[in-house]
């Protein structure tokens, strides 16, 4: 499958174009070979997919991540509130015990 409309960042486009010119080959051939080399093994493919998922999450993943992060934050807040309430109860119990002792 050929993709004919690809935009490259200026500095990389210039670099690849210079390489193509130096080797007297078409820029498309250089890019094709670059991709072939980069994805020639399964580990390279996995690393690229992991990077791509992180950099540009598939549709719905960003919302899921945000939702998960919000749930974690709420759970942490609840834990802090519970710990704070326990402290208050412990202080109250301690003060009541002190008041009851002669």
| Phi/psi at 58 (5° precision) | -60, 155
Euclidean distance between CA atoms 80 and 75, whole angstroms: 9
What's the pLDDT at 29? 92
pTM for this model (two decimals): 0.49
Per-residue three-class SS string for 28-82: HHHHHHHHHHHCCCHHHHHHHHHHHHHHCCCCCHHHHHHHHHHHHHHHHHHHHHH
pLDDT beneath 70, residues of the chain: 1-4, 61-68, 88-102
In contact, 62 and 44? CB cutoff 8 Å? no
3-state secondary structure (DSSP) of residue 5: coil
Euclidean distance between CA atoms 12 and 16, whole angstroms: 6
In contact, 34 and 20? CB cutoff 8 Å? no
Domain boundaries, the chain: 10-56, 59-102
What's the pLDDT at 14? 94
What's the pLDDT at 82? 82
pLDDT in tens, 42-70: 998 999 999 998 888 887 766 666 666 77
Q: How far is CA 58 from CA 42, 55, 95, in A?
A: 20, 10, 56
């Amino acid at each position: 499958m050929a993709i004919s409309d690809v935009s490259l960042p200026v500095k990389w486009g210039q670099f690849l174009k210079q390489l193509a010119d130096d080797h007297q080959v078409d820029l498309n051939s250089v890019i094709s070979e670059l991709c072939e080399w980069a994805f020639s093994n399964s580990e390279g493919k996995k690393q690229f997919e992991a990077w791509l998922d992180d950099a540009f999450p598939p549709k719905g993943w960003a919302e899921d991540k945000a939702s998960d992060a919000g749930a974690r934050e709420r759970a942490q807040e609840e834990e802090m509130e519970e710990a704070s309430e326990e402290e208050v109860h412990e202080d109250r119990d301690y003060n009541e015990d002190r008041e009851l002792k002669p």
